[in-house]
Structure 1
Amino acid sequence: MPKHNETRSLPYTPEQMFDLVSDVGSYAHFLPWVNSVRVRTDSKTETVADLLVGYKGIKESFTSRVHKARPSHVRVDYVDGPLKHLHNEWKFRPNGTGGVTVDFEVEFAFKNKLFDMLAAQMFEKALRKMIGAFEKRAAELYAK
């Protein structure tokens, strides 16, 4: 099962990064491979959403539950779809210089063994692209 941990120091506040990551409804505007999002429920502490993702003619939808603890933590758990397992966590903490330290962890597995093998081969590249998209979006929204 592919798994990745990463820590980044960024020039934004924990609140800003929390707002960006927890705004699942906006993912289709900036995340690669996310074609559309349908938010089923949204509250201060939890969002349930369906995401339609696609790559080279392959499209799949899945449902996830996003647990939110403003401003320090976002946890995403898999509910339904083509995956066997999906879990990711974002932790945001002040870095002492007016910015934020972001700890990110993701792990997943597809039910389909072929998809699982393909994903494992592309995992690092796809993950870098996704993390880069969050950083670019933060710069667009928050850079002074």
Structure 2
Amino acid sequence: MNKFIRKSSSFIGNSIQQNGIYTKPTSNQLYNARHIFGFGEAVSKKKVYQRKELVGYSMQQMYDVVADVDNYKLFVPYCKKSTVYNRKENSAQAQLVVGFPPLYERYTSNLTLQPPHLIKSECFDGRLFNYLQNYWGFSAGLKDVPDSCVIDFRVTFEFKSALHSHLSHLFFDAIVQQMEMAFVREAERRYGSAKIKPLLLSLQRS
């Protein structure tokens, strides 16, 4: 008679409801559930994103926009708060609150400043991250267009939780691209239209 009963099952807690009866899931069923929802051992907690782009603004102009951390809250998506302190000639610290829906993180960023070539920020005290590193490199653009440069933008971070890492896979690329483009739009607001159209040179992510 059992062969005529339609089988249906669902996970509830550490048990499976199958035809109205709760039973202990098999190891194979647990494995499948973990990987469907991204909780298996195969999920990497580390994310790396690197993008190189030619833009129609000078190295100094783009450097000044990215170095203006105090005003990130005004033009960087998902940045809710940004305050710079301990300013020195080539370094500073910043307190930031950043929202990556549905996650929000408050952290201290250690800044390395080498105008107009490099800005690096490193965070090791986050609640959600083991570490978070942002790198902005600026190099000369086209020889016949002085107000152009190549932006080398890199983000590397590792979540403490595999769950948060899985959630980030759903929206990470889109958010990082939005954040990067926000700096170019801010350059346009400050300095006017770009001298050339942006050109993507390379894109790597893992």
Secondary structure, aligned partner of 2:57: coil
Match of 2:69 among 24, 27, 33: 24
Using the alignment, how far apart are the partners of 2:134 and 2:100 within structure 1?
21
Question: What RMSD, in angstroms, separates the aligned Cα atoms of the two structures?
Answer: 1.5
Using the alignment, how far apart are the partners of 2:102 and 2:179 within structure 1?
19
Work out whether 1:92 is the aligned partner of 2:138: yes
Match of 1:139 among 188, 201, 205: 188
Q: Cα distance, 1:100 vs. partner?
A: 0.8
Q: Which runs of 5+ in 1 are unaligned?
A: none
Using the alignment, how far apart are the partners of 1:103 and 1:19 within structure 2?
15
Using the alignment, how far apart are the partners of 1:34 and 1:9 within structure 2?
25
Residue of structure 1 in register with 2:33 after alignment: none
* Shift in CA distance, 39/76, structure 1 to aligned 2, threshold 3 Å: same
Quick one: percent identity of the two aligned structures?
27
Matches for 1:1-144 after TM superposition, within 5 Å: 1-56=46-101, 58-82=103-127, 83-95=129-141, 96=143, 97-98=145-146, 99-143=148-192
Q: Cα distance, 1:117 vs. partner?
A: 1.5
* Shift in CA distance, 46/55, structure 1 to aligned 2, threshold 3 Å: same
Cα deviation, 1:67-105, whole Å, max 9, x if unaligned, reads: 000111111111311211111211111112211111111
Q: Cα distance, 1:129 vs. partner?
A: 0.8
Using the alignment, how far apart are the partners of 1:29 and 1:79 within structure 2?
24
Identify the structure with the greater strand proportion: 1
Cα deviation, 1:2-23, whole Å, max 9, x if unaligned, reads: 1111111111111111111111
What TM-score do you get using the length of structure 2 for normalisation?
0.66
Contact 1:40 1:48 in 2 (8 A): yes
Contact 2:77 2:182 in 1 (8 A): yes
Letter in 1 for 2:81: S
Choose 1 or 2 for highest CA Rg. 2
Using the alignment, how far apart are the partners of 1:125 and 1:106 within structure 2?
13
Contact 2:65 2:187 in 1 (8 A): yes
